Amino acid sequence: MSQSPFQKFTVKKKNSVVKEEIRQQKKKTRAEKNAYFDNLKEEKYQKMLAKRALKSGQVPKSATAASPVAAAKKGAAKIADQKTTDHAMPLNKFLAHCGVASRREAVEIITGGQVKVNKQVITEPGYKVQPTDEVIFNGKKLFVTKNLVYILLNKPKDYITTTDDPQGRKTVLQLIQKATDERVYPIGRLDRNTSGVLLLTNDGDLTQKLSHPSYEIKKIYEVKLDKNLTKAHFDEILDGLTLEDGKVYVDSLAFADSKDKSIIGIEIHSGRNRIVRRIFESLGYDVKGLDRVMYAGLTKKNVERSKWRYLSEKEIRLLKYMNESKKGKKADPEMIPQKPKDKAAAPKEKRMTSREIAEAIGEAIVPEAPKNPATDRPVRVKAAPKARKFKTHSEKKKYNADKKNDKK
């Protein structure tokens, strides 16, 4: 039985949880090892300073003096921090860097008058915040986040995709309490009854990118319907449906199981609210289950339901540079060569012959070869055979012998 193109995203990997624990343990061990050797280098440097001081009779330097290696690391970290803090930035971007909310959500917070800069309420999202300014939100002073965190969560049902719920319902942040002390927020939304891949981070720039429609971030969902999907509705979804908020197109559609026509795999890049559910509900189907199995190229293969993992450095780089070509401006239509609609109106240009090219560039013209009247092609003229100097091999042998004797 041939495997569905969507089945690879839903099949659980064997021993995936064990592999993820081993990966995290290796990462922790590597960090401890680096810290151990850094301490050894620091102790060696301090001993060297004390030894030099005894020989020269000088007072030894303070024990707190850092070695060149430690000073270099500290300086690099300080420069990295200054890159994010020592320049003016828009107020909505500042809130995103502080981990308060995404840039879009920050705009609503600012326009609602919830943010004060230097004890004055600012309602303009583009207001430039200086490094020395004091920004207050909900009575707390904000600082730019220095440690960026990227988490992939396999969201279960009955959890709200929000940072806080006034009704006291369970939120996705309760599932990642042990992951980080930083304030993170989800990228996009999953309904309460929708499960699957959900990214959480305090990187406002990445959140802005993945949430913006121009980047066309693709998602794959596994949909379970109350009845089999008919061939007519299958083709109708592929051709595009008209919903109350406009036309919607899917990138791909397939049956996850060749025997069960009620389980569908759908790939889509639209980020409209409840778009997948509304597609099937508009055709008279009831969605019994909805699971996001892929988001922006990331899957939940290595993560059990309600569990999470950190993104690798490679995954973070891929997300940050994903679909960068789509960010540019569209080309001017007048600069794009248009194909003629009527083929008869635009006859195909005839290629120049070698004789015509020679005449055009002023080269010497070679007389044309005679043509075959039947095919109107040049007749291939065979070259005349070269005259043989010797008729037989014995004549050639005798000639070479005489030539050799003459030299003597």
What pLDDT is stored for residue 340 in this prediction?
43
Mean pLDDT in runs of 10 for the chain (408 residues)? 56 62 81 85 85 72 54 50 62 81 85 92 91 87 78 93 86 91 87 93 86 86 93 91 89 85 90 90 93 91 90 85 57 38 46 46 48 65 65 82 79
User: According to CATH, where is 3.10.290.10 located in the chain?
Assistant: 83-146
186 within 8 A of 149, measured Cβ to Cβ: no
Amino acid 36: pLDDT: 86
Question: Which pLDDT belongs to residue 17?
Answer: 63
Q: What's the angle, vertex CA 245, arms to CA 243 and CA 246, rounded to 5?
A: 65
Say yes or no: domain 147-215+305-326 is CATH 3.40.50.10490: no
Compute the distance between CA of residue 295 and CA of residue 220 in angstroms, rounded to an integer. 7
CB atoms within 10 A of CB 38: 14
pLDDT, position 386: 64
Cα of 22 vs its chain's centroid, Å: 26
pTM for this prediction: 0.52
User: 284, 233, 278: which is closest to 255 by C-alpha?
Assistant: 233
pLDDT of residue 78: 47
- pLDDT value of position 293: 92
CA 364 distance to own-chain centroid: 58
Print burial letters for 42-67: b (CB count within 10 Å at least 16), e (below 16). Answer: eeebbeeeeeeeeeeeeeeeeeeeeb
pLDDT of residue 106: 87
pLDDT given at position 360: 46
What's residue 71's pLDDT?
56
Position 338 scores a pLDDT of 44
Residue 113's φ and ψ, nearest 5 degrees, are 75, 30
pLDDT of 308 reads 94
Superfamily of domain 83-146: RNA-binding S4 domain (3.10.290.10)
Ranges in the chain annotated CATH 3.30.70.580: 147-215+305-326
Exposure b/e, 273-294, CB count within 10 A at least 16 = b: eebbbbbbebeebebeebbbbb
* Whole-number pLDDT of residue 93: 85
Q: What is the pLDDT of residue 115?
A: 93
For CATH 3.30.70.1560, list the domain ranges present in the chain: 218-295
| The CATH number fitting domain 218-295, selected from 3.20.20.140, 3.30.70.1560, 3.40.50.10790, 3.40.50.300 | 3.30.70.1560
Q: Which residues are catalytic?
A: 191
From 14, 25, 29, 24, select the one nearest 302 (Cα to Cα).
14
Q: What is the pLDDT of residue 163?
A: 83
